[in-house]
Structure 1
Amino acid sequence: MAQVDTRGMSCPQPVLMTKKALDINSAEVTVLVDSKTAKSNVERYLNLTGYTINTIELDSKTHTFEISAKKQ
Protein backbone atom coordinates (compact mmCIF):
# COMPACT_ATOMS: atom_id res chain seq x y z
CA MET A 1 0.00 0.00 0.00
CA ALA A 2 1.38 3.40 -1.00
CA GLN A 3 1.21 6.23 1.52
CA VAL A 4 1.06 9.91 0.55
CA ASP A 5 1.75 12.41 3.33
CA THR A 6 0.45 15.84 2.33
CA ARG A 7 0.44 17.34 5.82
CA GLY A 8 1.61 20.95 5.78
CA MET A 9 1.03 21.34 2.04
CA SER A 10 -1.41 23.78 0.52
CA CYS A 11 -3.77 23.07 -2.35
CA PRO A 12 -3.58 21.97 -5.06
CA GLN A 13 -0.53 19.93 -3.96
CA PRO A 14 -2.47 17.30 -1.94
CA VAL A 15 -4.77 16.58 -4.88
CA LEU A 16 -1.88 16.42 -7.36
CA MET A 17 0.10 14.08 -5.10
CA THR A 18 -2.96 11.86 -4.64
CA LYS A 19 -3.52 11.71 -8.40
CA LYS A 20 0.13 10.86 -9.04
CA ALA A 21 0.09 8.05 -6.45
CA LEU A 22 -3.10 6.61 -7.95
CA ASP A 23 -1.63 6.80 -11.46
CA ILE A 24 1.33 4.70 -10.25
CA ASN A 25 -0.58 2.29 -7.98
CA SER A 26 -4.35 2.44 -8.23
CA ALA A 27 -4.88 -0.67 -6.09
CA GLU A 28 -4.46 0.79 -2.60
CA VAL A 29 -3.29 4.24 -1.50
CA THR A 30 -3.45 6.02 1.86
CA VAL A 31 -3.42 9.84 1.91
CA LEU A 32 -2.81 11.97 5.02
CA VAL A 33 -4.18 15.54 5.07
CA ASP A 34 -4.17 18.10 7.86
CA SER A 35 -6.41 20.92 6.72
CA LYS A 36 -10.11 21.26 6.00
CA THR A 37 -9.39 22.59 2.52
CA ALA A 38 -7.11 19.70 1.59
CA LYS A 39 -9.58 17.19 3.04
CA SER A 40 -12.44 18.68 1.06
CA ASN A 41 -10.48 18.91 -2.20
CA VAL A 42 -8.98 15.40 -2.02
CA GLU A 43 -12.35 13.94 -1.06
CA ARG A 44 -14.06 15.76 -3.94
CA TYR A 45 -11.42 14.54 -6.41
CA LEU A 46 -11.75 10.93 -5.24
CA ASN A 47 -15.54 11.00 -5.41
CA LEU A 48 -15.55 12.58 -8.88
CA THR A 49 -13.09 9.99 -10.21
CA GLY A 50 -15.08 7.09 -8.75
CA TYR A 51 -12.73 5.71 -6.09
CA THR A 52 -13.96 3.88 -3.03
CA ILE A 53 -12.69 5.71 0.06
CA ASN A 54 -12.72 5.25 3.80
CA THR A 55 -12.09 8.46 5.75
CA ILE A 56 -10.55 8.18 9.20
CA GLU A 57 -10.29 11.17 11.55
CA LEU A 58 -7.01 10.89 13.45
CA ASP A 59 -7.57 14.11 15.39
CA SER A 60 -9.49 17.35 14.86
CA LYS A 61 -7.21 18.40 11.97
CA THR A 62 -5.67 15.24 10.55
CA HIS A 63 -7.57 12.80 8.35
CA THR A 64 -6.54 9.69 6.46
CA PHE A 65 -8.15 8.56 3.25
CA GLU A 66 -7.86 4.85 2.57
CA ILE A 67 -8.43 4.53 -1.15
CA SER A 68 -9.19 1.29 -2.93
CA ALA A 69 -10.12 0.39 -6.47
CA LYS A 70 -12.61 2.41 -8.49
CA LYS A 71 -16.27 1.61 -8.08
CA GLN A 72 -17.65 -0.70 -10.73
Structure 2
Amino acid sequence: METIDVRGLSCPSPVLEVKQAMDRGVKSLKVLADCGTATENVTRFARNANYSVDVKTLDDGTTEFTLNAQ
Protein backbone atom coordinates (compact mmCIF):
# COMPACT_ATOMS: atom_id res chain seq x y z
CA MET A 1 0.00 0.00 0.00
CA GLU A 2 1.38 3.37 -1.02
CA THR A 3 1.15 6.28 1.44
CA ILE A 4 0.66 9.86 0.26
CA ASP A 5 1.14 12.67 2.78
CA VAL A 6 -0.73 15.78 1.66
CA ARG A 7 -0.70 17.53 5.05
CA GLY A 8 -0.04 21.22 4.58
CA LEU A 9 -1.16 21.22 0.95
CA SER A 10 -4.18 23.19 -0.22
CA CYS A 11 -6.62 22.12 -2.91
CA PRO A 12 -6.40 21.02 -5.60
CA SER A 13 -2.95 19.58 -4.74
CA PRO A 14 -4.22 16.69 -2.54
CA VAL A 15 -6.60 15.49 -5.24
CA LEU A 16 -3.90 15.80 -7.91
CA GLU A 17 -1.48 13.72 -5.80
CA VAL A 18 -4.11 10.99 -5.41
CA LYS A 19 -4.98 11.12 -9.13
CA GLN A 20 -1.32 10.72 -10.09
CA ALA A 21 -1.05 7.60 -7.93
CA MET A 22 -4.23 6.17 -9.44
CA ASP A 23 -2.96 6.95 -12.95
CA ARG A 24 0.20 4.94 -12.12
CA GLY A 25 -2.05 1.96 -11.40
CA VAL A 26 -1.89 2.05 -7.60
CA LYS A 27 -4.91 0.08 -6.35
CA SER A 28 -4.50 0.65 -2.62
CA LEU A 29 -3.58 4.00 -1.05
CA LYS A 30 -3.26 5.52 2.37
CA VAL A 31 -3.64 9.32 2.33
CA LEU A 32 -2.85 11.64 5.24
CA ALA A 33 -4.50 15.08 5.20
CA ASP A 34 -5.05 17.94 7.63
CA CYS A 35 -7.47 20.15 5.70
CA GLY A 36 -11.26 19.77 5.82
CA THR A 37 -11.63 20.76 2.19
CA ALA A 38 -9.06 18.16 1.14
CA THR A 39 -10.98 15.55 3.13
CA GLU A 40 -14.17 16.27 1.22
CA ASN A 41 -12.49 16.57 -2.18
CA VAL A 42 -10.31 13.43 -1.90
CA THR A 43 -13.30 11.40 -0.69
CA ARG A 44 -15.49 12.61 -3.55
CA PHE A 45 -12.76 12.07 -6.16
CA ALA A 46 -11.93 8.56 -4.94
CA ARG A 47 -15.56 7.45 -4.89
CA ASN A 48 -16.07 8.84 -8.40
CA ALA A 49 -12.99 6.85 -9.49
CA ASN A 50 -14.64 3.68 -8.09
CA TYR A 51 -12.43 3.37 -5.01
CA SER A 52 -13.80 2.42 -1.61
CA VAL A 53 -13.02 5.02 1.05
CA ASP A 54 -12.42 4.41 4.75
CA VAL A 55 -11.80 7.58 6.76
CA LYS A 56 -10.57 7.92 10.32
CA THR A 57 -9.21 10.77 12.40
CA LEU A 58 -5.89 10.17 14.17
CA ASP A 59 -5.07 11.47 17.66
CA ASP A 60 -3.15 14.45 16.25
CA GLY A 61 -6.14 15.56 14.14
CA THR A 62 -4.79 14.16 10.88
CA THR A 63 -7.37 12.52 8.63
CA GLU A 64 -6.27 9.12 7.33
CA PHE A 65 -7.96 7.74 4.24
CA THR A 66 -7.62 4.18 3.05
CA LEU A 67 -8.57 3.96 -0.62
CA ASN A 68 -9.00 0.64 -2.44
CA ALA A 69 -9.93 0.05 -6.07
CA GLN A 70 -13.14 -1.89 -6.46
Matches of residues 1-72 of structure 1 in structure 2 within 5 Å?
1-59=1-59, 61-70=61-70
Q: Which moves more between the two structures, 28-37 or 50-59? A: 50-59
Pairwise CA RMSD of aligned residues?
Answer: 1.4
Q: TM-score, normalised to structure 1's length?
A: 0.86
Q: Which moves more between the two structures, 22-31 or 43-52? A: 22-31
Q: Which moves more between the two structures, 12-21 or 50-59? A: 50-59
Identity %: 39
Q: TM-score, normalised to structure 2's length?
A: 0.88
Aligned residues: 70
Which ranges in structure 2 are unaligned for 5 or more consecutive residues?
none
* Structure 1: 4+ residue segments shifted above 6 A: none
1:61 CA drift (Å):
3.7
